[in-house]
A and B are shown apart, each in its own frame.
Chain A
Amino acid sequence: DADVTQTPRNRITKTGKRIMLECSQTKGHDRMYWYRQDPGLGLRLIYYSFDVKDINKGEISDGYSVSRQAQAKFSLSLESAIPNQTALYFCATGLAGVETQYFGPGTRLLVL
């Protein structure tokens, strides 16, 4: 089984809809991250969490919210989706004191 899983893998939604992307990990890592990837812009950090009670905004948090339900689960919500939120979304995990991050397979989101 994959260490970092994301659901759904693909999602099509309409403008104004609320959607949630979910991330689960079995690595036992305390840190979790949400990124979006757009062509020509690389990966940009949306939100990150260093433990269950710690949530921090990243570079592009406007229009998004997150919830760290447990150490292993970190969900990303789009309260009212808009077309420019069409992107590939990645969840990642990390361990304090260890610099690398481990990425999920991504969720491809299309907002019509």
Chain B
Amino acid sequence: KQEVTQIPAALSVPEGENLVLNCSFTDSAIYNLQWFRQDPGKGLTSLLLIQSSQREQTSGRLNASLDKSSGRSTLYIAASQPGDSATYLCAVVGNEKLTFGTGTRLTIIP
């Protein structure tokens, strides 16, 4: 059974700093990995999707990497802003279903 872990559960950083969120998974037989953002009272928004054959994906200030052999992914956020405050979830796709991590609640301090 696939297990996805995100550490830390919560993170606070001053505005402007670069930061890294971590995701680890136990079964490397994944189809792809996605990072989502969740805002309070709202649904999930897909940020980046990395195919299993890829090493990384970039969108604006966000960069996600994937190392299947070690079962790890990171989400790098450059020049953080207060609007980046949210919960970030990673999910791995296998057998056409998503398995989610428990998320990291990020707070950017102005």
A residues in contact (CB < 8 Å) with B: 4, 31, 35, 40-45, 48, 50, 58, 90, 92, 99-106
A42 touching B97 by the CB < 8 A rule? no
B29 within 8 A of A: no
B34 within 8 A of A: yes
Given contacts A4-B43, A90-B43, A106-B43, contact A58 B89 (CB under 8 A): no
Alpha-carbon distance A41/B3, docked complex (angstroms): 11
Q: Chain A contact residues: over half helix, strand or loop, or mixed?
A: strand
Alpha-carbon distance A35/B89, docked complex (angstroms): 14
Further 7 A-B residue pairs, CB within 8 A, beyond A42-B103, A99-B49: A40-B9, A42-B102, A45-B97, A90-B43, A99-B93, A104-B43, A106-B41
Alpha-carbon distance A104/B99, docked complex (angstroms): 17
Chain B interface size band reads 20 to 34
Alpha-carbon distance A42/B45, docked complex (angstroms): 15
Given contacts A105-B42, A106-B42, contact A58 B97 (CB under 8 A): yes
Alpha-carbon distance A103/B36, docked complex (angstroms): 10
Contact of B43 among A45, A48, A100, A105 (CB under 8 A): A105
Measured CB to CB, the nearest residue on chain B to A106 is B43
Contact of A99 among B4, B32, B45 (CB under 8 A): B32
Tell me the smallest distance from the CB of A44 to a CB of chain B, in Å. 8
Given contacts A48-B97, A99-B32, contact A41 B43 (CB under 8 A): no
Alpha-carbon distance A35/B34, docked complex (angstroms): 16
Tell me the smallest distance from the CB of B75 to a CB of chain A, in Å. 16
A45 touching B98 by the CB < 8 A rule? yes
Alpha-carbon distance A97/B49, docked complex (angstroms): 14
